[in-house]
Amino acid sequence: MARINDNYLKLKAGYLFPEIGRRVSRFVQEHPDAKVIRLGIGDVTEPLPPAIIAAMHAAVDEMASRETFRGYGPEQGYDFLREAIAEHAFAARGVEIAADEIFVSDGSKCDTGNILDILGPENRVAITDPVYPVYVDTNVMAGRTGQATEGGRYEGIEYLPITAENGFQPDLPSTRVDLVYLCFPNNPTGAVASREVLKTWVDWAKANQALILFDAAYEAFITDPSIPHSIFEIEGARDCAIEFRSFSKDAGFTGTRCAYTVVPKTVTALTASGEAQALHPLWNRRHTTKFNGVSYIVQRGAAAAFSPEGRTQVRGLVDFYMENARLIREGLSAMGIEVHGGVNAPYVWLKTPNDLSSWDFFDRLLSEAHLVGTPGSGFGAAGEGYFRLSAFNSRANVEEAIARIKNWLG
């Protein structure tokens, strides 16, 4: 008799975005004339930069002729892309990462889940609350948690609350923890971590033989020059951290798909007999066995993000979204709403006025201002009373959204 992975049955139904979808479609059905503006899901809206499109067109043409046609490429990514990443994303910031420590993939979402393949089931995990839900659900699937509890959490995970009270900086775990997920700039709160904060985490990881899984999907949105873009800017991080990066949010690749994971050759974890084992060969084995590489055309597009024109154009996209973030943040703030984030990240995390619950605020914003955002409680219990607005939208929609909130609250 075939058996299922019973851990899947522990997953809570009614996941955040489907529930938002249900409520929005019901509203639109009942109010067909309402012009609903969506500032909810974190997906980009602007087209790919011309330098990237040109590189992808040229790559398509290469595929059309026998002399330049490409079949399977290296599973870890083409050298031209791995070298461009090493040079522009790391060496340019004084960080030494070798091209063969970079594994190109079709997404950070998959990578943050797949990394669990090479880590034992007995690892104890710490996750911030609120959090990008993928870290939680993939650990549930891997059997690293108990059942879901009343408060929407899972047994066996140490949750590290991030709220205005602690400045959105998680405390170090209070119990023995082997794996910790950190995401800076943070989705959903928009918070960033200073060099000192990251150093505290690296020191903690080294002292506790723990591994940091660092999600830097939003590093390009950092505007404050003192904030590190990579955990590897911190001394010692090469021994205790893996970093996830993506072309999704800065270069607009959410639909095109390209990301990468950095596994330094010096990062280790323990074998059953207590010896240090490098993770690099394990991830290399996993990646080359279960993945057959990102399309050549897409990798050419990704590499073009690092050409001189590509860099200028990607910067233009990021600046465009960050101006949206500024408009949202300053607009809400002027109305007396408590806002966080939106300075070094494309998300504004607001405190719901009048202590409304996150979902009550969602429903009222939808029915009274025809705007869609994301309830903070959907990212974790400690997100209750908060609400996320995304800067990924057209300028016209952002301006209209601010005007509507002003009318609504005014």
Residues making contact with ligand PLP (CB under 6 A):
42, 107-109, 132, 183, 187, 215, 217, 246, 248-249, 254, 259
**222-244 b/e (C-beta count within 10 Å ≥ 16 → b):** beeeebbbbbbbbeebbebbbbb
Instruction: State which residue, 187 or 313, has the beta carbon closest to ligand PLP.
Output: 187
Instruction: State which residue, 126 or 402, has the beta carbon closest to ligand PLP.
Output: 126
**Crossing angle between the packed helical segments 395-409 and 308-334, to the nearest 10 degrees:** 10
Distance of CA 347 to the CA centre of its chain: 11
Residue 170 DSSP code: P
Least distance from C-beta 6 to ligand PLP, angstroms?
Answer: 27
Instruction: State which residue, 56 or 405, has the beta carbon closest to ligand PLP.
Output: 56
Query: Would you tell me how many other CB atoms lie within 10 Å of the CB of residue 35?
Result: 9
- If you search the block for the tokens 């200073």, which residue do you land on? 194
Least distance from C-beta 317 to ligand PLP, angstroms?
Answer: 15
Least distance from C-beta 173 to ligand PLP, angstroms?
Answer: 20
Q: What 3-state class would DSSP assign to 269?
A: strand
d(CA 142, CA 95): 33
Q: Is the peptide bond before 228 cis (omega within 30 degrees of 0)?
A: no
Least distance from C-beta 246 to ligand PLP, angstroms?
Answer: 3
What is the number of the residue whose Cβ is closest to ligand PLP? 107
Least distance from C-beta 299 to ligand PLP, angstroms?
Answer: 14
d(CA 353, CA 152): 23
d(CA 396, CA 235): 44
What are the tokens at 104? 């190109």
Least distance from C-beta 216 to ligand PLP, angstroms?
Answer: 9
Instruction: State which residue, 42 or 331, has the beta carbon closest to ligand PLP.
Output: 42
Give strand pairing partners of 179. 125, 211
Instruction: State which residue, 131 or 369, has the beta carbon closest to ligand PLP.
Output: 131
Instruction: State which residue, 245 or 370, has the beta carbon closest to ligand PLP.
Output: 245
Instruction: State which residue, 182 or 350, has the beta carbon closest to ligand PLP.
Output: 182
Least distance from C-beta 305 to ligand PLP, angstroms?
Answer: 14
Counts of helices then strands in the chain (DSSP H, E): 11, 15
